[in-house]
Amino acid sequence: MSKEILFLEPVFTHNIWGGTKLREEYGYPVEGDDIGECWGIAAHDNGDCTVKSGTFAGKTLSTLWNEHRELFGNQEGDRFPLLVKIIDAKDDLSIQVHPDDTYAAEHENGSFGKMECWYILDCEENSTLVIGHNAKTKEELTDMIENKRWGELIREIPVRKGDFIQIDPGTVHAIKGGITILETQQNSDITYRVYDYDRLSNGQPRQLHVKQSLDVITVPAKPVEDSVIYVGETKVNELQELIRCQYYKVFKIDVDGEAVIEDNEPFLIMSVVEGSGTIDGQEIRKGAHFILPAGYGNVKLKGNMKIIASTSA
Ligand code: ZN
């Protein structure tokens, strides 16, 4: 069994709402002023990360899942379960919603649905996000969408750096400009665009998915308090659980000096989101994404850094 840490080479997307922060602040070698997403841990047709070094150098994460399932504790499933990305929104993202597994399987060629959660890495003073909507019934929702009553429809909430938000399938949501997040999600890329602020991309409005949106949006929306997770007091040098749901467990680790993390999960995804240090002697810094494979054992982190970790549930 391999005891190597799997350091991954991320994949990037360019988006009309993207910017330059992923290059300038996170140090990723990617050109352009429209960099929207860094897929740090991904094994999807639209982005498949490759291993940087060691025994599996050059292999994609989906290949490892298919051919070396022992690295992931021999978990079942035809696809790697999770996708972890950093999203830098220079401008507002479209207002969108994701289907659940049942709807996606039926309408999207057997894709997974998408449950996701956000750790707010950075934002400006007085930032807001769109989470949920104000329609009380399906009829009201339909009317608000068909008659473009966007101001009445969408529910905006204030957010601060360090907030953590869970977004169930069926939840209307949008990241606003100036916000950078780390998203942990089901391995899916199915998004239904409800409203795009009437913007043009290459001279054309981007496609909206009104029918699918109306099919999948939950009415009424969950109360805000059920989406914004209280993170609690920061514990230093410990694995601090942020959420546990049917698809994933997500943790935060604030390393100040030295932390030993016990090997309690089938595998553990880690993304360094602030600072730098070492993991079992190997240097890591902000922007690094890697996986501790099954059976790796306890791991020693040193330095001054913040890490968001996850595993499948
Ligand atoms: Zn989303």
For residue 290, the CA-to-ligand 1 centroid distance in Å is 23
pLDDT computed for residue 231 by the predictor: 84
DSSP conformation class of 93: P
- Rounded Cα distance between 194 and 213, Å, is 6
pTM, whole model, 2 decimals? 0.96
Q: Catalytic annotation on 193? A: yes
For residue 26, the CA-to-ligand 1 centroid distance in Å is 22
For residue 99, the CA-to-ligand 1 centroid distance in Å is 10
pLDDT computed for residue 1 by the predictor: 46
For residue 282, the CA-to-ligand 1 centroid distance in Å is 33
Pick out the chain residues at pLDDT < 70: 1-2
- Quick one: tokens of 45? 């047709």
**How buried is 232 (Cβ within 10 angstroms: 0-12 exposed, 13-18 middle, 19+ buried)?**
exposed
* Sign for the pseudo-dihedral over CA of 61, 62, 68, 73: positive
* Catalytic option among 149, 155, 193, 244: 193
pLDDT computed for residue 200 by the predictor: 87
**Maximum Cα–Cα distance across the chain:** 59
For residue 27, the CA-to-ligand 1 centroid distance in Å is 25
- Rounded Cα distance between 309 and 306, Å, is 10
